[in-house]
């Protein structure tokens, strides 16, 4: 597979004149090997949310890391759930409270796919796909190349931010630079399992979160060009399964082929009716509830560097769906066939007429789209195409009555898009502060293409602004095997956390 | 699953006045327990074509069975292939030579799906799906119920015919009834693996087959009503795989959903363009090469009992494809999606845009359809729909050049339909002889829906007429788990073999 690596050019960014950035860089230069060592220790603890003993080891370690750095730390608990590692430091006279969010759990690991033990992190001299080889950890005083990468589960997603926050606190302390906001930490332990207890946590411990001015969700990758990026919401998400029925048992494709309905063919007609060949959704009303984009948001999207050619080259695509750039397309709901199955393929293919065919649909939603109503629209379309919808396996009478039967299973885990008004004072204060560091290179987007239940919960329960702050490289294999973080991005994260912890105090506490 | 069992009403058929039928029934009544015992022994030998040691045990046993009954038996051999068990008995003054074909190999067994050991056959008091339970084998003199079933691999497909032939020889001998034709046996050991050596065998041992007047291919199930059935050819078959491409690696469905092309959606459009919603193939020329059906054949199809309502009820179908009955639809080429895959479904479904989607197409062909030309028509259609066809995984330059890429893999194992002229004298002689036993209830069809390479090889290499003779029940789970034969059908087979071995000598040897 050809991979097109775009040189990450995060550093040097704008004004190193800022004392907090100077502090960060001095610290990294001096203490880099120790930072990587602490990072490796944290990555060594397995962290799938279902592995509660190890999850608790992670939580205790993180609690101690920040307690050692002068924070009041505690574990918030819900029965059977990974704890939230919560911490705070009040700053005398601060008019603003920033809550730094990250998650310490990771995606499941399939060891067969990894080149190393996912929980025995290793340093590489460059990206594996670029021919990188493992190298020893640097000793005190040894220089560190920014193209090095740390490999291991959650190296990028999402333990790098936790290390960056800790290092930023050390750097600022060493240079005697005080925080300018009250700072809270909220480290989630089940984000990769869709944070099923997030509502319960935010409700039960609501008092701890009342005074937060802005949540900084430090998760996700910087812009594909390598430029810093910030996102002010996420798309919603929901999913449906469509199962269509042929004969009640698989049939010999000779004895019944050309007579018994073929479920794969029926499903193809149904799916093809939902989009045109360019990928535009043809379901009535699918785009109708999309809330208008503000001029401010539209400008931000317009100002973001166009990465379409780069990504098409990287992904081997001669065309993309619909019209518009990748960033523009993220402002519309999607309808993706994430799975298809009927009978068997490749060396298991048998000469049968399968008895059913399944399509798994994933729908990403934007502001204005209600998950239930969007699924209703799909169902109305399905009915208009002549299908009878059932919720359970059809019985014989149903089979004999309706020529086209589809069982539709709607997920119960969908949630709507979140979009924080970008130009409100609390947010502008953060943007302006960050811009003093990044200059004009920073990309501010109204929404991530992805979805995050935490974002939704903060928005709905706490009604507090949140912004997604990205620091890791985009080619980090997040969720997949051989996850990694580029060291230059880790260092950028230390700078960024330092800057955000020392933003000018230009707004009133709400 | 509801199963609609149609009472099999094969017996009593017409004239029991025929001495050979009386001989058969007397023998079965007296020797039934011994016949079942010999049957069980034969079924106990594993018989997948790739298991050469056991295949040879089967062959040796069958060779001995018929040598004991006065036939000149030998094994025909090809290196690395299961042997053909060949035998003959010349009859003084006979003007016709009948070759009885059956196969002693079986489909692979998936033990996890079977309720019993596939090679430890068991007798049941009725069909499993009807609540049947295992019963002991009957002792000498004990009555045998025709609704009993013998379960085991190849009970129906295709060892029952071999036992029926052996029992018929015993019955005729006991009643001192002589054969009226020279009789040959040809027992194939790799039919379920598509008889890859059949051409080699028929060519290498051509001299043994020169004098055959008609081949009787005793394989397959009686008509779904339970009436006797005979088929005069089989559909051809071929298959193709279509693999369409999205992004070169699976993508996060949030970050790229609505921008990156979705291979499942692209494939749906392509597949939907190939048929209308009723299942009629829309590919240009797909039906053009179909040879006209003769009036005689059309009459036979018309005269066959209409089983569409019964089969729709049995299979839970409110509609069928196109227009016409099941039997009429078998006279046209089919295009079946036998397999579909993209990403994952059910509990493995992940929120990704898969990088490819696969469709496996099976095409059953009728007389006039050339397998290669039919695949060419599909490819021309694919091109007309705007796709670029490749034969290997597309490289980066190809990906960047063509917006719609499909890799097409054509099978090398296709073969055309075979259809023997039904009203030629050699065939009519057999039909008339059989009708004297079955009366008007017998169903004569120009073609099986299924495909058999042996049929094709006999037709092309030997240019000798062949007719497919069916004796087992249609609900026999052939190829699947819990294969079985209904004892009444086994007894019907003994009658039928007796009748066919004593047909009136009303034709000249060719």
Cβ–Cβ gap A338/B350 under 8 Å: yes
User: Considering only CB atoms, which chain B residues are within 8 Å of A318?
Assistant: 399-403
| pLDDT tens digits, one per residue of A100-131 | 999 999 988 888 778 999 999 999 999 998 89
Q: Which residue of A has its CA nearest to B4?
A: A396
Cβ–Cβ gap B316/A354 under 8 Å: no
Q: Which two tokens stand for residue B510?
A: 């060719």
Strand partners, A242: A359, A408
Say if B8 falls within a structural domain: no
Say if B468 falls within a structural domain: yes
Q: How far is it, in rounded angstroms, from Cα A340 to Cα A337?
A: 7
Q: How far is it, in rounded angstroms, from Cα B47 to Cα B194?
A: 15
* Contact yes or no for B172/B498 (Cβ under 8 A): yes
CA B435 to chain centre: 23
Q: Which residue of B has its CA nearest to A386?
A: B277
Q: How far is it, in rounded angstroms, from Cα B480 to Cα B494?
A: 25
Q: Are residues A166 and A241 in the same domain?
A: no
Q: Are residues A210 and A339 in the same domain?
A: no
- Give the gap in angstroms from C-alpha A338 to the nearest C-alpha of chain B: 6
* Contact yes or no for B232/A338 (Cβ under 8 A): no
Q: Are residues A230 and A279 in the same domain?
A: no
Work out whether the CA dihedral B46, B50, B51, B57 comes out positive or negative.
Answer: positive
Q: Which residue of B has its CA nearest to A326?
A: B259
- Give the gap in angstroms from C-alpha B456 to the nearest C-alpha of chain A: 15
Q: Are residues B263 and B120 in the same domain?
A: no
List, in order, residues 6 or more apart from A455 with CB less than 8 Å away.
Answer: A217, A233, A234, A418, A466, A468
* Contact yes or no for B244/B405 (Cβ under 8 A): yes
- Stretch B389-395: mean pLDDT: 98
Q: Are residues B399 and B423 in the same domain?
A: no
- B159 has a pLDDT exceeding 70: yes
Cβ–Cβ gap A334/B396 under 8 Å: no
* Contact yes or no for A268/A428 (Cβ under 8 A): no
Domain of B164 in residue numbering reads as: 19-234+417-501
Q: What is the pLDDT of residue A260?
A: 96
- B508 has a pLDDT exceeding 60: no
Share of chain B above pLDDT 90, in %: 75
Cβ–Cβ gap A336/B479 under 8 Å: no
Cβ–Cβ gap A316/B351 under 8 Å: no
Say if B295 falls within a structural domain: no
Q: Which two tokens stand for residue B87?
A: 């035998």
Q: How far is it, in rounded angstroms, from Cα B336 to Cα A250?
A: 12
* Contact yes or no for A454/A409 (Cβ under 8 A): no
Q: How far is it, in rounded angstroms, from Cα B287 to Cα B276?
A: 14
Q: How far is it, in rounded angstroms, from Cα A249 to Cα B9?
A: 24
Burial category of B237 from C-beta neighbours within 10 Å (exposed 0-12, middle 13-18, buried 19 and up): buried
CA torsion angle for A23, A26, A29, A30 (degrees, to 10)? Answer: -100
Q: What is the pLDDT of residue B473?
A: 93
In 3D, which of B327, B307, B303, B325 has the Cα closest to residue B315? B307
Burial category of B412 from C-beta neighbours within 10 Å (exposed 0-12, middle 13-18, buried 19 and up): exposed
Q: Are residues A173 and A43 in the same domain?
A: yes
Cβ–Cβ gap A259/B330 under 8 Å: yes
Q: What is the pLDDT of residue A340?
A: 97
Q: What is the pLDDT of residue B17?
A: 62
Q: Which residue of A has its CA nearest to B364?
A: A254
Q: How far is it, in rounded angstroms, from Cα B157 to Cα B474?
A: 11
Q: What is the pLDDT of residue B509?
A: 43
Q: What is the pLDDT of residue A9?
A: 43
Strand (E) positions, B394-510? Answer: 405-410, 418-419, 443-445, 466-470, 484-486
Question: Which residue of B108, B113, B191, B259 is the best one to mutate when testing the A interface, meaning the one whose CB has the most A CBs within 10 A?
Answer: B259
| Locus of tokens 């290499």 | B461
| pLDDT tens digits, one per residue of A337-394 | 999 999 988 877 888 899 999 999 999 999 999 999 999 999 999 999 999 999 999 9
In 3D, which of B370, B457, B471, B443 has the Cα closest to residue B194? B457
| pLDDT tens digits, one per residue of B4-41 | 333 344 444 545 568 999 999 999 999 999 999 999 99
Say if B302 falls within a structural domain: no
> Domain containing A287 — which CATH number?
3.30.70.360
Collapse the DSSP code of A60 into the 3-class scheme (helix H, G, I; strand E, B; otherwise coil) and give the result: helix
Q: How far is it, in rounded angstroms, from Cα B30 to Cα B19?
A: 16
Task: Provide the 10 A C-beta neighbour count for residue B390.
Answer: 17
Q: How far is it, in rounded angstroms, from Cα A265 to Cα B217?
A: 34
Strand (E) positions, A147-249? Answer: 149-151, 182-188, 214-218, 229-231, 233-234, 236-245
Q: What is the pLDDT of residue A17?
A: 62
Q: How far is it, in rounded angstroms, from Cα A304 to Cα A284?
A: 31
Cβ–Cβ gap B279/A269 under 8 Å: no
| Locus of tokens 């003199």 | B141
Q: How far is it, in rounded angstroms, from Cα B363 to Cα A257?
A: 8
Say if B1 falls within a structural domain: no
Cβ–Cβ gap B258/A364 under 8 Å: yes
Question: Which residue in the set B266, B320, B451 is minimally distant from A261, CB to CB?
Answer: B320
* Contact yes or no for B242/B385 (Cβ under 8 A): no
Q: Which of residues A359, A389, A410 is at a domain's end?
A: A410
Question: Which residue in the set A267, A317, A403 is minimally distant from B260, CB to CB?
Answer: A317
Say if B471 falls within a structural domain: yes
- Give the gap in angstroms from C-alpha B464 to the nearest C-alpha of chain A: 24
- Stretch B77-89: mean pLDDT: 97
Q: How far is it, in rounded angstroms, from Cα A334 to Cα B40?
A: 60
Q: How far is it, in rounded angstroms, from Cα A322 to Cα A310?
A: 18
Interface predicted TM-score (ipTM) = 0.85
- B497 has a pLDDT exceeding 70: yes
Cβ–Cβ gap B249/A342 under 8 Å: no
Strand partners, A357: A244
- B193 has a pLDDT exceeding 80: yes
Q: Which residue of A has its CA nearest to B326?
A: A259
Q: What is the pLDDT of residue A113?
A: 78
Q: Are residues B401 and B283 in the same domain?
A: yes
Burial category of B224 from C-beta neighbours within 10 Å (exposed 0-12, middle 13-18, buried 19 and up): buried
- Stretch B400-419: mean pLDDT: 94
Q: Which two tokens stand for residue B48?
A: 């997948």
Domain count within chain A: 2
User: Considering only CB atoms, which chain B residues are within 8 Å of A272?
Assistant: 265, 268-269, 271-273
Cβ–Cβ gap A251/B326 under 8 Å: no
Q: What is the pLDDT of residue A290?
A: 97
Q: Are residues B385 and B241 in the same domain?
A: yes
| pLDDT tens digits, one per residue of B269-303 | 999 999 999 999 999 999 999 999 889 889 989 98
- B202 has a pLDDT exceeding 80: yes
Cβ–Cβ gap A255/B448 under 8 Å: yes
Q: Which residue of A has its CA nearest to B236?
A: A254
Say if A113 falls within a structural domain: yes
Size of interface A-B (CB pairs under 8 A): 313
Say if B25 falls within a structural domain: yes
CA torsion angle for A363, A367, A372, A374 (degrees, to 10)? Answer: -60
The residue with greater pLDDT, B373 or B109, is B373
Q: Which of residues A393, A410, A427 is at a domain's end?
A: A410
Question: Which residue of A231, A240, A258 is the best one to mutate when testing the B interface, meaning the one whose CB has the most B CBs within 10 A?
Answer: A258
Q: Which residue of B has its CA nearest to A355?
A: B315
Q: What is the pLDDT of residue A399?
A: 98
pLDDT band at B506 (very low <50, low <70, confident <90, very high): low
> Domain containing B172 — which CATH number?
3.40.630.10
Q: Are residues A195 and A247 in the same domain?
A: no
Q: Which two tokens stand for residue A309?
A: 């050619």
In 3D, which of A384, A385, A390 has the Cα closest to residue A407? A390
Work out whether the CA dihedral B467, B471, B472, B474 comes out positive or negative.
Answer: positive
* Contact yes or no for A221/B281 (Cβ under 8 A): no
* pLDDT tens sequence for chain A (510 residues): 333 333 344 444 545 568 999 999 999 999 999 999 999 999 999 999 999 999 999 999 999 999 999 999 999 999 999 999 999 999 999 999 999 999 999 988 888 778 999 999 999 999 998 899 999 999 999 999 999 999 999 999 999 999 999 999 999 999 999 999 999 999 999 998 889 899 999 999 999 999 999 999 999 999 998 888 889 889 999 999 999 999 998 888 899 999 999 999 999 999 999 999 999 999 999 999 999 988 988 998 998 999 999 999 999 999 999 999 999 999 999 999 999 999 988 877 888 899 999 999 999 999 999 999 999 999 999 999 999 999 999 999 999 999 999 999 999 888 999 988 888 888 888 888 888 888 878 898 988 888 888 988 998 899 999 999 999 998 888 877 899 999 999 999 999 999 999 998 765 444
Q: Are residues A272 and A167 in the same domain?
A: no
Q: What is the pLDDT of residue B428?
A: 85
Question: Which residue in the set B237, B337, B346 is minimally distant from A264, CB to CB?
Answer: B337
Collapse the DSSP code of A300 into the 3-class scheme (helix H, G, I; strand E, B; otherwise coil) and give the result: helix
Cβ–Cβ gap B315/A340 under 8 Å: no
Burial category of B510 from C-beta neighbours within 10 Å (exposed 0-12, middle 13-18, buried 19 and up): middle
Q: What is the pLDDT of residue A1?
A: 31
Q: Are residues B205 and B91 in the same domain?
A: yes
User: Considering only CB atoms, which chain A residues are within 8 Å of B333?
Assistant: 258
Q: Which two tokens stand for residue B397?
A: 């330059």
Q: Are residues B117 and B254 in the same domain?
A: no
Strand partners, A358: A243, A341
| Locus of tokens 């006999």 | B458
Helix (H) or strand (E) holding A351: none
Phi, psi of B255, deg, nearest 5:
-70, -20
- Give the gap in angstroms from C-alpha A97 to the nearest C-alpha of chain B: 30
Q: Which of residues A410, A442, A462 is at a domain's end?
A: A410
Q: How far is it, in rounded angstroms, from Cα B8 to Cα B24?
A: 19
Task: Provide the 10 A C-beta neighbour count for residue B440.
Answer: 9
Q: What is the pLDDT of residue A405?
A: 98
* Contact yes or no for B226/B7 (Cβ under 8 A): yes
- Give the gap in angstroms from C-alpha A356 to the nearest C-alpha of chain B: 10
Cβ–Cβ gap A364/B315 under 8 Å: no
* Contact yes or no for B106/B192 (Cβ under 8 A): yes
Cβ–Cβ gap B358/A339 under 8 Å: no
Cβ–Cβ gap B315/A400 under 8 Å: no
List, in order, residues 6 or more apart from B386 with CB less than 8 Å away.
Answer: A277, B403, B404
């Amino acid at each position: 597979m050809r991979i097109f690596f775009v040189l990450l050019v995060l550093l040097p960014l704008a004004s190193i004149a800022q004392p907090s950035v100077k502090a960060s860089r001095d610290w990294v230069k001096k203490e880099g090997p120790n930072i990587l060592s602490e990072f490796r220790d944290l990555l060594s603890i397995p962290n799938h949310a279902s592995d509660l003993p190890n999850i608790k080891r992670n939580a205790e370690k993180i609690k101690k890391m920040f307690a050692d750095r002068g924070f009041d730390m505690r574990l918030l608990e819900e029965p059977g759930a990974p704890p939230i590692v919560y911490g705070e430091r009040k700053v005398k006279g601060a008019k603003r409270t920033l809550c730094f969010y990250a998650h310490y759990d990771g995606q499941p690991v399939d060891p067969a796919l990894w080149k190393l033990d996912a929980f025995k992190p290793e340093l590489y001299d460059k990206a594996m796909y670029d021919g990188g080889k493992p190298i020893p950890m640097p000793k005190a005083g040894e220089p560190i190349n920014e193209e090095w990468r740390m490999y291991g589960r959650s190296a990028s997603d999402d333990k790098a931010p936790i290390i960056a926050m800790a290092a930023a606190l050390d750097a600022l302390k060493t240079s005697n630079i005080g925080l300018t906001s009250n700072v809270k930490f909220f480290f989630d332990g089940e984000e990769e399992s869709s944070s099923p207890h997030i509502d319960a946590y935010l409700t039960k411990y609501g008092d701890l979160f009342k005074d937060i001015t802005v949540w900084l969700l430090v998760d996700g990758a910087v812009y594909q060009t390598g430029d810093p990026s910030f996102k002010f919401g996420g798309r919603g998400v929901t999913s449906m399964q469509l199962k269509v029925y042929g004969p009640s048992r698989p049939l010999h494709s000779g004895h019944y082929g050309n007579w018994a309905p073929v479920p794969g063919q029926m499903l193809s007609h149904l799916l093809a009716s939902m989009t045109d060949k360019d990928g535009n959704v043809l379901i009535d009303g699918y785009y109708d509830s999309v809330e208008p984009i503000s001029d401010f948001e539209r400008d931000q999207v317009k100002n973001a560097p166009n990465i379409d050619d780069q990504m098409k080259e990287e992904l081997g695509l001669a065309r993309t769906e619909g019209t518009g750039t990748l960033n523009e397309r993220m402002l519309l709901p999607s309808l993706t066939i994430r799975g298809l199955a009927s009978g068997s393929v490749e060396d298991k293919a048998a000469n049968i007429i399968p008895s059913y065919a399944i399509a798994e649909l994933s729908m990403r939603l934007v502001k204005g789209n209600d998950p239930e109503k969007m699924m209703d629209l799909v169902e109305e379309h399905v009915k208009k195409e002549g299908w009878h919808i059932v919720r359970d396996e059809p019985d014989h009478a149903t089979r004999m009555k309706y020529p086209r039967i589809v069982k539709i299973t709607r997920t119960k885990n969908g949630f709507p898009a979140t979009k924080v008004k970008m130009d409100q004072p609390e947010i502008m204060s953060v943007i302006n502060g960050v811009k003093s560091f990044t200059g004009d290179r920073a990309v501010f987007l109204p929404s991530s293409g992805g979805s995050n239940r935490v974002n939704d919960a903060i928005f709905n329960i706490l009604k507090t602004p949140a912004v997604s702050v990205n620091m890791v490289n985009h080619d980090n294999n997040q969720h997949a095997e051989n996850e990694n973080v580029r060291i230059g991005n880790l260092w950028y994260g230390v700078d960024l956390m330092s800057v955000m912890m020392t933003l000018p105090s230009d707004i009133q506490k709400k």
